[in-house]
Amino acid sequence: MCLSKADKNALRAELLQVRSGLPADDVETAAGALARQALELPELAGARTVAAYVSVGREPGTRALLDALHARGVRVLLPVLLDDNDLDWGSYDGQGSLTRVQHAGKMALLEPSGEPLGTEAVVEADVVLLPGLAVDGRGMRLGRGGGSYDRVLARLERADADPALVVLLYDGEVVERVPEEPHDRPVHAVVTPSSVRRFR
């Protein structure tokens, strides 16, 4: 069943409202638990390159996970938001390698300060960790609606790359049904602070 953009936007608003009410202590506790769950994934245990992201605001926290992957010697790629909402990539070399970037009309993001690697760098990843607001039992992910990761997934498909696609969420964000559009693609797994669920 294909539903409209309006259905997506209504669900986004609902989920963002719940996130905005989360106490800072709960966000921090969830981030530690999320990192522990994710680090047990066999896909991450064997990964040489992982495309990830730096969480912002009340998103499920990724900083502990990024540091743990970096400490393991994994090459971690982080996104650099371009003016057209596409993503370039840069290497994560620890906490000091991030810089705060204020994008016009958008929230400030922490991005890698080193040399950009190009939009195609993501095709080298063994695992791509995706932000999201929800995922359903089919593995369909609801993003924020900017289209950045739709472009990433399309780029992976064009390159015939097949990394493990893993979305990081809070426990209550695994829902019965996510509205989908024809361009949407399912993920392989969702990691929450209390569990891992696989879809294919």
What integer is the mean pLDDT of 69-79?
97
pLDDT at 1: 43
pLDDT at 107: 77
Pairing of strands 49-51, 108-112: unpaired
Tokens of 55: 């969480």
Q: Write down all domains in the chain, each with its CATH number in brackets.
A: 5-198 (3.40.50.10420)
CA distance 51 to 48: 10
Compute the chain's Rg from CA coordinates: 16
- C-alpha pair distances (Å), 57 with each of 74, 77, 107, 108: 25, 20, 9, 10
Tokens of 153: 């997934």
Give per-residue pLDDT as tens, 170-193.
Answer: 999 999 999 888 888 899 999 999
The residue ranking higher by pLDDT, 1 or 133, is 133
- Locate all alpha helices (DSSP H) within 22-109, ordered by sequence: 24-39, 42-45, 63-71
pLDDT at 4: 65
pTM for this one? 0.93
168 φ, ψ to 5°? Answer: -105, 120
Would you give the distance in Å from CA 95 to the centre of its chain? 18
Give per-residue pLDDT as tens, 15-49.
Answer: 999 999 999 999 999 999 999 999 999 999 999 99
